[in-house]
Amino acid sequence: MIAFIEYSDIFGKLDLNAFKHDAIEASVGISIILISIALVFFLTYKKLWVWLWRDWLTSLDHKKIGVMYLIVSAAMLFKGFVDAAMMRAQQAFSVGDSFGYLGAPHFQQIFTAHGTTMIFFVAMGMVFGLINILLPLQIGARDVAFPFLNNLSFWFFAVGAALLIVSLMIGNYAGTGWVSYPPLSGIKYSPGVGVDYWLWGIQIAGVGTLLSGVNFLVTIFKMRCPGMTLMKMPLFVWSVLNSLVLIVFAFPILTATLAMLSLDRMMGMHFFTSDFGGYPMMYVNLIWAWGHPEVYILVLPAFGIFSEVVATFSGKKLFGYTSMVWAMVAITFLSFIVWLHHFFTMGAGPKVNAFFGIMTMIIAVPTGVKVFNWLFTMFKGRVQFKTPMLWFLGFVIIFTIGGMDGVLMAIAPVDFQVHNSLFLVAHFHSMVIGGVLFGILAGFTYWFPKIFGFKLNEKYGGYAAFCWIFGFLFAFIPLYILGLMGATRRLNHYEAATGWQPLFIVAAIGVCIIAVGVFFQIVQLIVSIKEKDQNMDTTGDPWNGRTLEWSTTSPAPFYNFATIPEVSERDPFWTMKHHKQEAKYVEIHMPKNSPHGVFIGALSFTFSFGLIWNMWWLAIVSLIGMIVCLMIRLFDRDTEYAISPQEVEKFELANKHLN
């Protein structure tokens, strides 16, 4: 009977050709396999598997989940940075008779993977990592509203990243750009599995993001400590709240859009094809109706981080708290009515272009309000130029440049000139690197003692910040000039007569300077670990912080607060240090670890892999497995345990002795 089973019924489209790659792709795949084997050997040799499973992989502690987000995102940042370096090297030397070292299809896969990696698996992952660690601490909560959902969301995120990595070894990745416009992303023009890897990686990760959005939104509204009204929340919490509102409204659009494109490819439907009434421009509208709010989903938490950093290192209360809150609310609202500026050139007409151009200019106003408020906070303050503050100053320079040219591109005739050029690439990176990444790095440095219990080395942190800032200017200012000269994005070869090569070489030098900055960050981490005994912080307040998370030890215990705090001011910890409160012990209930998130995540990987390669039996079995695991979890009554006051006292004494 087995002899009658067709090969295609078992393995679908998967055959030996899926493992054939060029020398560069093969070396990357081999490197990934060797690193994985080395990691498994290390964990086995050190007998760490049980510890890893019990204390991390199955943990429902929001702080540990946040750290796992940061670890996965850091690995993907390395991968995305290598992609960027490969593209700049290709563009610096692929001129005239020289065609560089990358073929056109491989170059297309690299720029698609680079954009997807950096947006979905670096920026989103790092933002959610910091939100996980800090949000409950800042609102005086012991955990998030739905701890298991938090763990499951992380595993969906990790599976999305894993699918991207697997595409480097089995099959290939999409070459359609990180938003994959049809008809290029349709089955007719992209018949391979590359677009399917892109679709299902983002779809699974996007579902995790949506679940996290609901989880954290409920956490903010229902779990704030007594006395913390909305207008007494820290600015970071306000920024996260607005970001979560965007997630809840925008990510269902992405989910539906990707589902329709998947049906076009898998079942021959025609949502976005020109045949049988399909409409490719509908995809463009939908993807940017999600895509532009996505930019603010990422940058709003960074704004909140800068609000905390500037107030702390200026020794002052934040200037214009109320105006900052309303500026974020305005940005949140306006971000939904500017999406069409991404395709001014596609024939919408002058009235539509004028409306979206005006809205784009208006959204710059509340953003400008925030920048001026930060600068006024510094004015006449005792400014300390610590590493987090250096990241802020780099942000002000680069983000302001990007904001000004963004307003310039809001003028439709200008956009007609620079659309699809490297000018646009430089603008976007000014927003995402100068705004989002610098904000994340500032927050990571600022809260590192709260996460791990000791500070990062200031000297190497300063070196890294300066290399990143100057490296960015060298890498992207030439792209502004090249864009005005007519150089288009996604360009893997150009003629010598254009005179573009010197500027591409300068851009490549900028990437090398950023690489030196990354090197200093690695050195900073190594040196800080070696010096952690001297830099150990047991007070919980290494920076003289103002918000509630500094009122507990560093790192925070698994229950966050032995007694739930009560607040009466916008800077609650600042008040607590001067007016001691009487502690009122409330019995602690904490969630037990759960393996079901790991199992559902693993099954979501095999489900997606089965759909990508048309292995329908694998997809069906995996889907059934996910449903079974979820039902078991739903009917599990034994999901939490109580902690007595004596156990809390014993833990805190042991923790104090350890530190």
Nearest to 476 by CA among 84, 127, 211, 37: 84
For position 590, what pLDDT does the model report? 86
Least confident of 118-132, 200-214, 340-354: 340-354
> Does the structure show a pLDDT above 60 at 582?
no
Give the bridge partners for 454, in sequence order. Answer: 536
Average pLDDT value for the chain? 91
For position 537, what pLDDT does the model report? 55
Q: Which DSSP category does 124 fall into? A: H
Q: Which DSSP category does 344 fall into? A: G
> Does the structure show a pLDDT above 80 at 631?
yes
Within 347-492, where are the H helices? Answer: 350-378, 387-409, 412-418, 422-431, 438-452, 458-484
**Chain segment 81-130, per-residue pLDDT in tens:** 999 999 999 999 999 999 999 989 999 999 999 999 999 999 999 999 99
Distance from C-alpha of 286 to C-alpha of 256, rounded to nearest angstrom? 9
What is the SS3 assignment for 300?
helix
9-559+570-594+639-658, CATH topology level: Cytochrome C Oxidase; Chain A (1.20.210)
**Chain segment 145-178, per-residue pLDDT in tens:** 999 999 999 999 999 999 999 999 999 999 999 9
For position 205, what pLDDT does the model report? 97
For position 538, what pLDDT does the model report? 54
Evaluate whether 182 touches 628 at the Cβ level (below 8 Å): no
Using alpha carbons, list the distances in angstroms from residue 101 to 88, 298, 426.
12, 34, 24
Cβ atoms within 10 Å, residue 510: 21
Per the listing, tokens 């790095």 go with: 441
Evaluate whether 360 touches 341 at the Cβ level (below 8 Å): yes
What is the SS3 assignment for 642?
strand
H or E segment to which residue 641 belongs: strand 640-643
> Does the structure show a pLDDT above 90 at 425?
yes
Per-domain boundaries in the chain: 9-559+570-594+639-658
Using CB atoms within 10 Å of the CB of residue 621, give its burial: 0 to 12 exposed, 13 to 18 middle, 19+ buried: middle
> Does the structure show a pLDDT above 50 at 658?
no
Q: What are residue 589's phi and psi, to 5 degrees? A: -120, 125
Using CB atoms within 10 Å of the CB of residue 479, give its burial: 0 to 12 exposed, 13 to 18 middle, 19+ buried: buried
